[in-house]
Structure 1
């Protein structure tokens, strides 16, 4: 153990935040899954707790081993990894495991486990974007040779993710635009891209308004294609967010109302650990709506602490961006921290009804799965950059420029 601790490097604050979130995850996941585990496993309420312990242990190992790898290696494999994810997303779209008329997962043979390919695609995209931005800084303001090569991977990834998971595609696109802005892409190029991206969003809002004004008549999904059914799901969610839904039987409206009840019961200081009542009624209290359970048990104070932890994480990553002497590491740390914090803020916004219902989880706090493990890999890469920055500050005289050596 001492040997492992001695080899652990990187930003100590980020390490502390990761461990803190993992410990909080154990408490909240155990609380939110107690009733479900009792029903599913004949009174054994610790099943999901043990599973979460395993996921956290594996996740921490992934962070540790990833942070030991020189981050410049990821620049070398970024291009290959990105183009591997494209056929994976296509396969998931047509042959993946179906849920709510959408395919988000693929099942791995032999071990019979599923993982969400969009998580891998996001990681690969931000690694690839960081590489491209670091290499094209001298020509990044040129539309043909600078902007087009970096916007094409974003468009491909978002279009392939969107049919099954529109919220993830929108968050990925928003994070990418922020990264391009920091990467000195011309504002007029970003503005035009934003206008094009807003067209489908405005169409969804318009469809929700039309549907609501038509007395909320929702066509049955059985006779429609999968894509048409997904569009109907998106429209219904926007309509529920704008107008509150058409009835208490509406699933999204039910989730939002139960989350509101949980938050109202929590008040300022909450009901206390393990005392949640809405976990028995709120769908997915251990994943999509875990933040509502946190507020119910720990109050607004607990919810504010969680938000503050993510903001500190982002602040430390921004400091890495400013300290890192090489562009790839700086962009990589910033991109991965942006995507984690933006996802966290989106999840919180959904829970407090500031954003339409989505399927995004709360990083490091929601119950473990492929998203949890890919989040840990991303944090490991951030700490790898931090480890190099730490070394460069100790030995400034022997710095080299590994990025410039990459082809």
Structure 2
């Protein structure tokens, strides 16, 4: 154990946060998959074992990602963007359809699928961090800086939004935050936002899922007039939260998991509140807030612009997604397919989330190594000054 701890670098609090979220995830998934297991004629233990395998696989990927120098991700980002855009287009045309949405691509020979938007988030954030850090000298140049940045943001946004509008909106928001941090002018940011609004209107009014988006918005804005089938998940999520009380019903005692179709993924936060009460829900929220706090500290200490932008983009993406999921579960937003990072049962989404954590820890590790090196150099300089003083004092005594 001591050897393993010695090999893990970076912010220890983030490692602890990952462990805490993993434990919460295993408990919540095991509890909420009982009905699904019954329908499939199997035990909930089988889902728990698969979920644990994904969690341990994610931790392994996080360990590998944090051991790599974060500066390597600058070069990888270009490759990721070249892969991501055609993959998103392929997903729209030939991806697996679930709930009238084409978001997944099957991995040949494994029986697994992965959501290409998870890869797109990593690709776009790393690419923006690289581009913004390398073009600081001519950041306001339209041809060299603004058009490539705006083009990458808008292309990824529209390709994701056609199948997954909520994820596209969150990623667009993170991108705008990175543009602000990257010292893009207010005028150029306004142009990007205007382009985003135009694309959003096109997706909502003309996109292939326009009927779904409109019905969800209407169900949220006018729940008393909504079709019961459209508000079914939101209604039972509210029942779960209301019956949870302050202390909850206890682990494994949820009843609404029998009605919520996505109690183990999109609405797992409602299950947590039902079983662990208001205190459990606030505890999960506090963990994500503390994660954001630790990441902000990393951003402020990062010596290079790329490291700061990379850590900021990934941490904003994780925390915005977490609070979006929690807001939807408690009825503060329309229903969407946004999982709770590192808690929801989501297969490969856990792996991509773990890689994001690993990259943040890689930036933190680099900061710690620089601080340690600075302390060593300071100690050596102090020792040299003391030796010099001793030599000078000895020479003065000899002369005397």
Q: Same fold (TM over 0.5)?
A: yes
What is the aligned partner in structure 1 of residue 325 from structure 2? 347
What is the aligned partner in structure 1 of residue 156 from structure 2? 157
Deviation at 1:248, TM superposition (A): 5.0
Identify if the C-alpha distance between structure 1 residues 161 and 68 changes in structure 2 by more than 3 Å, giving closer, same or farther.
same
Do 1:56 and 1:368's aligned partners in 2 also have CA atoms closer than 8 Å?
no
Kindly name which structure, 1 or 2, has the bigger radius of gyration based on alpha carbons.
Answer: 2
Task: Report whether the alignment pairs 1:374 with 2:344.
Answer: no
Do 2:70 and 2:362's aligned partners in 1 also have CA atoms closer than 8 Å?
yes
What is the aligned partner in structure 2 of residue 364 from structure 1? 342
What is the aligned partner in structure 1 of residue 228 from structure 2? 249
Deviation at 1:376, TM superposition (A): 0.4
What is the aligned partner in structure 2 of residue 220 from structure 1? none
Partner Cα separation in structure 2 for residue 203 and residue 241 of structure 1: 21
Partner Cα separation in structure 2 for residue 200 and residue 120 of structure 1: 21
Deviation at 1:344, TM superposition (A): 0.5
Deviation at 1:84, TM superposition (A): 1.1
What is the aligned partner in structure 2 of residue 317 from structure 1? 295
What is the aligned partner in structure 1 of residue 24 from structure 2? 24
Deviation at 1:36, TM superposition (A): 2.0
Partner Cα separation in structure 2 for residue 45 and residue 192 of structure 1: 50
Q: Given the alignment, which residue of 362, 368, 372 partners 1:384?
A: 362
Deviation at 1:112, TM superposition (A): 3.0
Q: Given the alignment, which residue of 204, 208, 211 partners 1:232?
A: 211
Deviation at 1:147, TM superposition (A): 2.1
Deviations 1:254-304 (A, max 9, x none): 111000100100122211111111000111000000011111111122111
1:68-79 → structure 2 map (5 Å cutoff)? 68-79=67-78
Tell me the TM-score normalised to structure 1 length: 0.88
Q: Given the alignment, which residue of 267, 277, 281 partners 2:245?
A: 267
Do 1:204 and 1:235's aligned partners in 2 also have CA atoms closer than 8 Å?
no
Task: Report whether the alignment pairs 1:307 with 2:285.
Answer: yes
- Unpaired segments of 5 or more residues in structure 1? 208-226, 400-407
Tell me the TM-score normalised to structure 2 length: 0.90
Provide the secondary structure at the position in 1 that maps to 2:266. Answer: coil
What is the aligned partner in structure 1 of residue 36 from structure 2? 36
Q: CA RMSD in A?
A: 1.9
Deviation at 1:2, TM superposition (A): 3.5
Task: Report whether the alignment pairs 1:292 with 2:232.
Answer: no
Partner Cα separation in structure 2 for residue 264 and residue 39 of structure 1: 26
Deviation at 1:56, TM superposition (A): 1.1
Do 1:292 and 1:351's aligned partners in 2 also have CA atoms closer than 8 Å?
yes
What is the aligned partner in structure 2 of residue 104 from structure 1? 103
Greater mean alpha carbon deviation, residues 12-21 or residues 46-55: 46-55
Partner Cα separation in structure 2 for residue 235 and residue 201 of structure 1: 13
